[in-house]
Chain A
Amino acid sequence: MATVQIRDVLKSYGTLQVIHGISLDIADGQFVALVGPSGCGKSTLLRMIAGLEEISGGDVEIGEVIVNDLPPKDRDIAMVFQNYALYPHMTVAQNMGFSLRMQGISKAEIRAKVERAAEILGLQQLLDRHPRHLSGGQRQRVAMGRAIVRAPQVFLFDEPLSNLDAKLRVQMRSEIKELHQRLQTTTVYVTHDQIEAMTLADRIVVLNAGRIEQVGSPLELYDTPETLFVAGFIGSPSMNLIKGKVVLGDSPTIVTTDGVSLPLPLVSGLEAGSEITYGFRPEHLSIDPSGMKATVVVIEPTGSETQVNARFGTTPITAIFRDRVDFRPGDSVPLLPDNKRAHVFDTLTGQRLHA
């Protein structure tokens, strides 16, 4: 196990720069998720840690050693690929033992280690099969087995669950979490699925266009997104974001172009007429006579909660209620965001305005 330090890392393909100076400290044993939209550079960053991609600038350290120029095999890492990359011509046992074989470990010892890993993952029955005779979930497990067999310093995962169906994904997600709790190996996990990141990681790194938007624990990101991008990215259904101008009266208000007006929480840096975005999560809306009239569009009950899609003026908003609701599409309902948990962002810079 080891720490991973990334310092001012850059990556360019020819003249196209895709990573613009990323710095990140990953503590020993930590589970870090890299999330972000497609093409933001998650895989590239991960592959630079793995040594599969040259580092154009900056340093990557694994266990206090600068590894910039070390080939992957000398970095003591294990990687799980999105398509699993199991060797088709080897059995499951050979796949799992391959890295040990490359280290020159004795056959008996490899067998013992492979069997132990197979036991952890429930693969004992499959050891002599070839990958083409396995189901998707089993392949995924073998890929993980290949990673854990050698007890590396760092696990690197690149969207390991994205080829599984929804149910299996949830199951494997908790298996990965359990595995991490058991092995305590430093892990970097790439995903574009923010739920996966939220449920698995100790720390989430939100990337956007080759830059870090925010780093924090899942709940930190959820409760205090530092930028508009993070606010919109983390959370499902995503945060309601309403654009407008500040009107300072008795208390500050946001007024939109289509006439919606909502009271703002007290934050610093509010100036009359400045462009801001007011954000509140769907579950922080309540039905309150002092709220703003919203027109109900769609009601989606799931039993445990009810999701309501409505409109403030022309701005679509989403609300989630734990209680059953008794209104119907077309109704006008007064909705009030909970200002203690609402967020205000500068629309132009995208930065959060703090209290």
Chain B
Amino acid sequence: MVTTARPRTKKPNYHWMLHAGLIAGAVLMLYPLLWMIGSSFKPEGQIFSDLNPIPQSLDFSNYIKGWTLGTGVSFTTFYLNSFMICAGAIVGNLFSCSLAAYAFARINFKFKPVLFALMLGTLMLPFHVIVVPQYIIFNTLGWTNSFLPLIVPKFFAVDAFFIFLMVQFIRGIPVELEQAAMVDGCNRGQTFLLIILPLLTPALVTTTIFTFIWTYNDFFGQLLYLNNERKYTVALGLRQFLDASGQSSWGAMFAMTTLSLLPVFVIFLFFQKRLVDGIATTGLKG
């Protein structure tokens, strides 16, 4: 009794101050985002005159205006394009990175250490260094203004980060599991498909999410290779509001930007748990 009472009298509770400080910081950080979301519901004239992020009324006209954009191609196309590129990149990365990782983690071949180091080395290589040569290659292939430059490379295990992630993961899977599978009648391919891949699920989920987000947000790559409006993605679509007609269509842009955040937000919402927990690999040992 005495011991619990004493600190209470002696030490005032500073928690609320701490929280207030943190909340203030959070609001400060979030203000631009909130302002943008709020502005997407405001009439054009109010956007820059009213700094209060909370709109006076919910006006969806910006959304309707923004979606169709007035140039004939709507955001329906942009979203479909974005999702198509994302899907292609995800399939490519899952397929190629898992295979590459398996080879690095489990198969002995000549120059493996050197190749592994080289592969990791590409992580340090700034994107800008390879932009020009890459563009020349794809241009020669006649692939510009198509999704191919954004999807096809993913089928050749170019994302060293994911390979590394999976290599580490596979190294943590006991070899005995694979040996047991071989004794049970699997060849290498079946061992990979039936044992390694299922156990790799957490890493595969991570790869899926990050590939989605990175591809979805990849403005530069898409800007580089896509120049027909019908091929535009969401990221490129948003840019249209700025230079399309010279008119200020800020409201529409904020509306579409707000919408464009949704997929990423939803993905985080649903996969956050899967990102964290993995299949516990405790079929081993007592």
Contacts and interface: CB of A to CB of B under 8 A. Distances in A.
B282 A131 contact: yes
A88 B284 CA distance: 8
A71 to B, nearest CB: 7
B187 interface: yes
Interface string A213-257: 000000000000000000000000000000000000000000000
Contact of A146 (B179, B184, B286): B184
B182 interface: yes
A139 interface: yes
A86 B185 contact: no
B65 to A, nearest CB: 50
A78 interface: yes
B283 A73 contact: no
B243 interface: no
- Counting from the closest, the 3 A-B pairs by CB-CB distance are A136-B286, A102-B185, A88-B283
B182 A88 contact: no
Nearest to B201: A89
A73 B186 contact: yes
Contacts of A73: 182-187
Interface in B258-286: 279-286
B283 A139 contact: yes
A72 interface: yes
Contact of A132 (B176, B179, B282): B282
A168 B179 CA distance: 26
Contact of B283 (A52, A78, A86): A86
A137 B286 CA distance: 8
B183 A77 contact: yes
B174 interface: yes
Interface of A: 50-52, 71-73, 77-79, 81-89, 95, 98-99, 102-103, 130-132, 135-137, 139-140, 146, 163-164
B183 A83 contact: no
B186 A81 contact: no
Nearest to A86: B283
Contacts of A81: 176, 179-180
Interface string B161-181: 000000000000010110111
For chain B, give the interface size range.
Answer: 20 to 34
Query: Which of B179, B281, B286 has the most chain A CB atoms inside 10 A of its CB?
Result: B286
Interface in B9-44: none
B285 A89 contact: no
11 contacts: A81-B180, A84-B284, A85-B174, A85-B283, A86-B284, A87-B180, A88-B177, A88-B282, A135-B286, A136-B286, A163-B286
Contacts of B283: 84-88, 95, 130-132, 139
Contacts of A71: 182, 187
Given A79-B180, A135-B286, A88 B199 contact: yes
B218 to A, nearest CB: 33
B184 A83 contact: no
A50 to B, nearest CB: 6
A253 B279 CA distance: 68
Contacts of A72: 179, 182-183
B198 interface: yes
A227 to B, nearest CB: 33
B195 interface: yes
Contact of A102 (B184, B201, B280): B184
Contacts of A98: 181, 184
A333 B176 CA distance: 54
B76 interface: no
A185 to B, nearest CB: 15
Given A99-B185, A102-B190, A87 B177 contact: yes
A99 B181 CA distance: 8
A164 B286 contact: yes
